């Protein structure tokens, strides 16, 4: 079902216990509120007596096995991926660091990794670090700074038979732009490289299908899509078996478990299972553009505001970065907070693109829609920014 009346997007607000009070929460790209069914699943697990480790000889351990199996099945559905290749970890950054360190064992001088300046640093810095260690080279694809977009050819022109991995984002957490990942992945595979897609910012807004995107590995974080603080890595189980991550000797030797160091947060897995269900069944059905268009258009119409990144609605998420003439980004965010409007200011760990845009010192303000954002929230933001003229 697609919701067409913007006012009805508030129809999901009652599902978020954290939305009590009159705060306008436009901070979703930094982390959303958690949906009621996810909160309940976490509480249920923690209070049920099932709290135990996996693979035991008693009922609670069996129940915990079931929590993990259900979690992997839900991620399989959310990300179009084989549940046998689903790895849970603390967050996306840790999972990418682990993957890069594991991949490093097979890299040396002459090997190349292609990253992009559109990416969050979680999908750049780990590759820079292993390149420094192994003698491999990282080549960085440039963003078009006028549009805030990543042209496919800026990535494909860096590919060669030396390319081993291509690391690309599904959507920019700073600017909202969505690159053509499937085209990048197709070209990367034709060059013989593997592809890692950071789907953290894309997941709450668009269907994400690992296989259709052509991602060998895909990562995401449940706290960006109405769930708990938990990272998810999805890959072909054969690839996870072929790589050799650091682990302790008694740990499982087969994927995906051999990638999960130590004991995962079972309560977070239980909650993320429900968050995935909510994204699939409800969140993505909201017509975000109906709420976002007045926000983007309103900011673009203000002479004292500069919007960074795409100025249109094609291939973007409902996330916008902007600066206000004569005001530092942190001060704008503080001004908004005094009116109970939550936004983020800074560079959002989008290190490369914010440098490329010359925004690395004062940063920008970022406002992003979640499925619970109302047109009233947007009006309040616009009125408060307008008052800074
Ligand atoms: C696009 C993107 N990638 C990666 C990350 C890092 O995720 P985590 O905080 O789970 O390590 C974030 C977090 O803001 C993000 O927005």
Q: List the CATH number of the domain containing 381.
A: 3.90.1150.10
The Cα–Cα gap between 195 and 227 comes to 26
Closest ligand 1 atom, residue 122 Cα: 4
Q: What whole-number percentage of the chain has pLDDT above 70?
A: 97
Report whether residue 32 contacts ligand 1, using a CB cutoff of 6 Å: no
Report whether residue 240 contacts ligand 1, using a CB cutoff of 6 Å: no
**CA 215 to ligand 1 center in whole angstroms:** 17
Closest ligand 1 atom, residue 29 Cα: 16
Report whether residue 310 contacts ligand 1, using a CB cutoff of 6 Å: no
DSSP string, 344-375: EEE-TT-HHHHHHTT-TTT-EEEEE--TT--H
Q: Is the pLDDT of residue 4 over 70?
A: no
- Of 280, 313, 337, which marks where a domain is finished? 280
The total domain count for the chain is: 2
- Of 227, 257, 280, which marks where a domain is finished? 280
**CA 5 to ligand 1 center in whole angstroms:** 31
The Cα–Cα gap between 73 and 70 comes to 5
In this prediction, residues 158-183 reach a mean pLDDT of: 98
Sorted by sequence, the CB contacts under 8 Å of residue 312 that are 6+ apart come out as none
| Peptide linkage before 251 cis (omega within 30 of 0) | no
Based on the fold, state whether residues 330 and 184 are members of the same structural domain: no
Residue of 30, 88, 93, 218 with the most ligand 1 atoms within 8 Å of its CB, for mutation: 93
Report whether residue 260 contacts ligand 1, using a CB cutoff of 6 Å: no
**CA 220 to ligand 1 center in whole angstroms:** 8
Report whether residue 176 contacts ligand 1, using a CB cutoff of 6 Å: no
The Cα–Cα gap between 323 and 320 comes to 10
Residue 48 lies in a domain: yes
Residue 228 lies in a domain: yes
Q: What is the pLDDT of residues 189-232, one digit of tens each?
A: 999 999 999 999 999 999 999 999 999 999 999 999 999 999 99
Based on the fold, state whether residues 275 and 304 are members of the same structural domain: no
Query: What per-residue confidence (pLDDT) applies to 149?
Result: 98
Q: How confident is the model at residue 20 (pLDDT cuts 50, 70, 90)?
A: confident
Q: What is the pLDDT of residues 23-59, one digit of tens each?
A: 999 999 999 999 999 999 999 999 999 999 999 999 9
The Cα–Cα gap between 282 and 277 comes to 8
**Is the CB of residue 192 less than 8 Å from the CB of residue 180?**
no
CA angle, 73 then 80 then 107, to 5°: 100
**Is the CB of residue 178 less than 8 Å from the CB of residue 199?**
no
Q: Kindly report the average pLDDT of the chain as a whole number.
A: 96
Based on the fold, state whether residues 290 and 219 are members of the same structural domain: no
Closest ligand 1 atom, residue 96 Cα: 11
Q: What is the pLDDT of residues 285-339, one digit of tens each?
A: 999 999 999 999 999 999 999 999 999 999 999 999 999 999 999 999 999 999 9
Based on the fold, state whether residues 19 and 155 are members of the same structural domain: no
Based on the fold, state whether residues 93 and 211 are members of the same structural domain: yes
Sorted by sequence, the CB contacts under 8 Å of residue 122 that are 6+ apart come out as 92, 93, 96, 198, 200, 349
Q: Is the pLDDT of residue 160 over 50?
A: yes
Nearest by Cα to 357 from 142, 113, 107 = 142
Based on the fold, state whether residues 151 and 253 are members of the same structural domain: yes
DSSP string, 4-67: --GGGGGGGGGG-GGG-SS-EE-BGGG--PPPHHHHHHHHHHHHSS----SS-SSHHHHHHHHH
Based on the fold, state whether residues 248 and 330 are members of the same structural domain: no
CATH of the domain at 260: 3.40.640.10
Closest ligand 1 atom, residue 172 Cα: 1
367: tokens are: 């406002």
Based on the fold, state whether residues 227 and 85 are members of the same structural domain: yes
Q: What whole-number percentage of the chain has pLDDT above 90?
A: 97
Report whether residue 116 contacts ligand 1, using a CB cutoff of 6 Å: no
Query: What per-residue confidence (pLDDT) applies to 6?
Result: 42
Q: What is the pLDDT of residues 248-262, one digit of tens each?
A: 999 999 999 999 999
Domain span including residue 108: 40-280
Residue 1 lies in a domain: no
Query: What per-residue confidence (pLDDT) applies to 10?
Result: 61
- Of 257, 280, 303, which marks where a domain is finished? 280
Q: Is the pLDDT of residue 9 over 80?
A: no
Query: What per-residue confidence (pLDDT) applies to 169?
Result: 98
Q: What are the residues facing 327 on neighbouring strands?
A: 324
Report whether residue 92 contacts ligand 1, using a CB cutoff of 6 Å: yes
The Cα–Cα gap between 200 and 301 comes to 30
Report whether residue 201 contacts ligand 1, using a CB cutoff of 6 Å: yes
Query: With b meaning 16 or more CB within 10 Å and e meaning fewer, what string describes 317-356?
Result: bbbbbbbbeebebeebbebbeeeebbbbbbbbbbbbbbeb
Residue spans of alpha helices (H) in the chain: 36-47, 59-79, 92-104, 125-134, 152-156, 181-190, 210-213, 237-242, 266-281, 288-300, 329-338, 351-356, 375-386
Based on the fold, state whether residues 74 and 214 are members of the same structural domain: yes
Secondary structure string (H, E, C) spanning 206-221: CCCCHHHHCCCEEEEE
**CA 110 to ligand 1 center in whole angstroms:** 30
Based on the fold, state whether residues 23 and 69 are members of the same structural domain: no
In this prediction, residues 120-138 reach a mean pLDDT of: 98
Based on the fold, state whether residues 313 and 164 are members of the same structural domain: no
30: tokens are: 């930094």
Report whether residue 370 contacts ligand 1, using a CB cutoff of 6 Å: no
Q: Is the pLDDT of residue 278 over 70?
A: yes
Q: Is the pLDDT of residue 2 over 50?
A: no
Report whether residue 91 contacts ligand 1, using a CB cutoff of 6 Å: yes
Report whether residue 54 contacts ligand 1, using a CB cutoff of 6 Å: no
**CA 261 to ligand 1 center in whole angstroms:** 20
Based on the fold, state whether residues 216 and 300 are members of the same structural domain: no
């Amino acid at each position: 079902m697609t919701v067409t009346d913007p006012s009805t997007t508030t129809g999901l607000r009652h599902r978020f216990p954290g939305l009590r009070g009159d705060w306008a929460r436009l901070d979703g790209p930094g982390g959303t509120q958690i949906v009621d069914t996810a909160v309940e699943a976490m509480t249920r697990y923690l209070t049920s007596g099932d709290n135990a480790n996996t693979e035991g000889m008693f009922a609670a351990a069996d129940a915990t096995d079931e929590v993990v199996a259900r979690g992997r099945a839900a991620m399989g559905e959310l990300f179009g991926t084989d549940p046998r290749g689903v790895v849970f970890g603390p967050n996306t950054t840790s999972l990418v660091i682990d993957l890069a360190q594991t991949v490093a064992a097979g890299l040396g001088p002459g090997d190349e990794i292609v990253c992009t300046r559109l990416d969050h640093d979680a999908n750049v810095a780990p590759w820079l670090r292993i390149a420094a260690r192994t003698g491999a080279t990282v080549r960085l694809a440039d963003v078009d700074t006028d549009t805030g977009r990543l042209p496919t050819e800026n990535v494909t022109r860096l590919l060669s038979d030396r390319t081993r991995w291509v690391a690309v984002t599904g959507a920019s957490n700073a600017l909202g732009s969505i690159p053509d990942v499937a085209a990048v992945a197709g070209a990367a595979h034709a060059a013989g490289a593997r592809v890692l897609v950071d789907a953290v910012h894309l997941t709450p807004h668009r269907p994400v299908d690992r296989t259709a995107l052509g991602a060998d590995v895909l990562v995401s974080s449940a706290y960006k899509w109405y769930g708990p603080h938990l990272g998810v890595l999805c890959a072909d189980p054969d690839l996870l078996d072929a790589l050799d991550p650091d682990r302790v000797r008694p740990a499982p030797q087969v994927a995906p478990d051999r990638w999960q160091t130590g004991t995962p947060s079972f309560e977070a897995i239980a909650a993320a299972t429900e968050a995935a269900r909510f994204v699939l069944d409800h969140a993505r059905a909201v017509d975000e553009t109906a709420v976002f268009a007045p926000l983007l258009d309103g900011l673009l119409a203000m002479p004292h505001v500069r919007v960074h990144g795409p100025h249109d609605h094609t291939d973007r998420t409902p996330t916008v970065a902007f600066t206000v003439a004569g005001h530092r980004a942190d001060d704008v965010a503080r001004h908004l907070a005094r009116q109970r409007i939550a936004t983020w200011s800074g560079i959002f760990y989008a290190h490369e693109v914010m440098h490329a845009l010359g925004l690395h010192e004062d940063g920008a303000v970022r406002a992003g829609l979640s499925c619970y954002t109302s047109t009233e929230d947007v009006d309040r933001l616009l009125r408060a920014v307008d008052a800074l003229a």
